[in-house]
Structure 1
Amino acid sequence: MSEKVTFWFDATCPFCWITSRWMKEVEQVRDVQVQWVPMSLGVLNEGRDELPEAYREHIKAAWGPARVATIIALQAPDRLDDYYTAIGTKLHNEGQGGQSGFGAYDEVIATTLDELGLDPSFAQVANTQDVDKQMREFHQQAMDAVGNDVGTPVLKLGDAAFFGPVLTRIPKGEEAGKLFDASVTLGNYPHFFELKRSRTENPRFDA
């Protein structure tokens, strides 16, 4: 029987991207079924005026890709994986991420939709609140599953959901499978809650 994984993502988060590419590796070596669901760094960080100004500007840029992910989840859910892979590759592997301000990713979004043959009108929601209600509902599903004081990604493995795992490199092949097995084992233990250490390197998408 396939292991079901629910993966809530924000396409602009580099750590979320690495974890998602790990799950794509896992799909090649384990019998898993991944459901991709949008969440939003914009929603997650609302009202956090204590954040550095530069980071708050990055968060403004994150609204657009999350809104477009939402309309795809609503109208073409079978293409959400394709959208995340395509826009994530541009933002992270091709160095088009890290932008600031509302609308910063408009061109990337339009190019992604065109390459995938998706409805170009989807791009129009990036700078409106047309799908914000639904996006907040998707996001709240993650929060309800995992609790507070977390970031992206959120993974649900079986009956339990967790923030992370936070990785800085992408495990490949059987190594990816073994890490997944370990994650499922921890996730299935009802009294496991947290495992953490200080991070000593930044994400690398080529290793």
Structure 2
Amino acid sequence: MIVDFWFDPSCPFTWTTSRWLVEAATVRPITIRWRLLSLAALNEHLEVDPEGDTEGYLWYPARICAAVQEGYGTAALGAFYAAFAPRTDWDAAAALAEAGLPVELAEAATSERYDDDVRASTARGIAKVGPHVGTPILAVGDTACFGPVLSRVPEGEAAGRLLDAVLVIAGTPGFHELKGPPPPEV
């Protein structure tokens, strides 16, 4: 089964969800196709950016992701994301090197060359569920949903059961939204 996963490389909740999906792949026969959904592109038409990115810094990692995907494909995109997202220093060159990719791809951060690709990938993800959501978006065939938004990563069979449940819920005609209590203070 192919799972398309749209992510913003700077979103911490999306990072946690991505690690759950990687864990679920250890107990379910899934292949993850990494897709870019940029909150910068999603929100660029708004007067006030809900992410508070007044300087446009969220474009930088999104552009690098687009350059990685264009040149090296979705598996390389996933490898870059795995190396970049947990970093607190946003050192894209180090993350590219860790992912086995050319560090020169970091130059894409300040180039608008990839902006249309970023917007197009974001639009493809949003088209799956509608404009009222952000990231992450998960899709299997025609079944798609925003989320799940997780505060911790389920492990082993619990990760697989959550994937099963998400697909059942998201595939139910008329399903729209499900939320749990806020995460406990850490």
TM-score scaled to structure 1, two decimals?
0.82
Tell me the number of residue pairs that the alignment of Structure 1 and Structure 2 aligns. Answer: 185
* AA of the residue aligned to 2:76: R
Q: 2:162 aligns with which of 179, 184, 194?
A: 179
- 1:197 deviates by 4.0
Q: 1:81 aligns with which of 78, 81, 90?
A: 78
Give the distance between the partners of 2:154 and 2:53, measured in 1 at CA.
31
1:43 aligns to what?
41
Native 8 Å contact 1:157 1:187 kept in 2: no
Give the distance between the partners of 1:152 and 1:111, measured in 2 at CA.
25
Give the distance between the partners of 2:92 and 2:45, measured in 1 at CA.
26
2:145 matched to 1:147? no
For the aligned residues, what is the CA RMSD? Answer: 1.9
Native 8 Å contact 1:158 1:187 kept in 2: no
- Give structure 1 regions of 4+ aligned residues with deviation exceeding 3 angstroms: none
2:113 matched to 1:130? yes
Distance verdict in 2 for CA 1:119–1:25, change over 3 Å: same
1:1-207 superposed matches below 5 A: 3-51=1-49, 55-57=52-54, 60-77=56-73, 78-90=75-87, 96=88, 105=90, 108-197=91-180, 199-201=182-184
Give the distance between the partners of 1:184 and 1:117, measured in 2 at CA.
33
Aligned sequence identity (%): 37
Give CA deviations for 1:142-177 in whole Å, capped at 9, x if unaligned: 111110111110111331221101111111111111
Gaps of 5+ in 2: none
1:102 aligns to what?
none
* AA of the residue aligned to 2:11: C
TM-score scaled to structure 2, two decimals?
0.91
Give the distance between the partners of 1:62 and 1:50, measured in 2 at CA.
15
**Secondary structure of the corresponding residue to residue 156 of structure 1:** strand
* AA of the residue aligned to 2:77: L
Give the distance between the partners of 1:125 and 1:63, measured in 2 at CA.
10
Native 8 Å contact 2:2 2:32 kept in 1: yes
- 1:62 deviates by 1.6
Distance verdict in 2 for CA 1:146–1:75, change over 3 Å: same
Distance verdict in 2 for CA 1:51–1:197, change over 3 Å: farther
Gaps of 5+ in 1: 91-95, 98-104
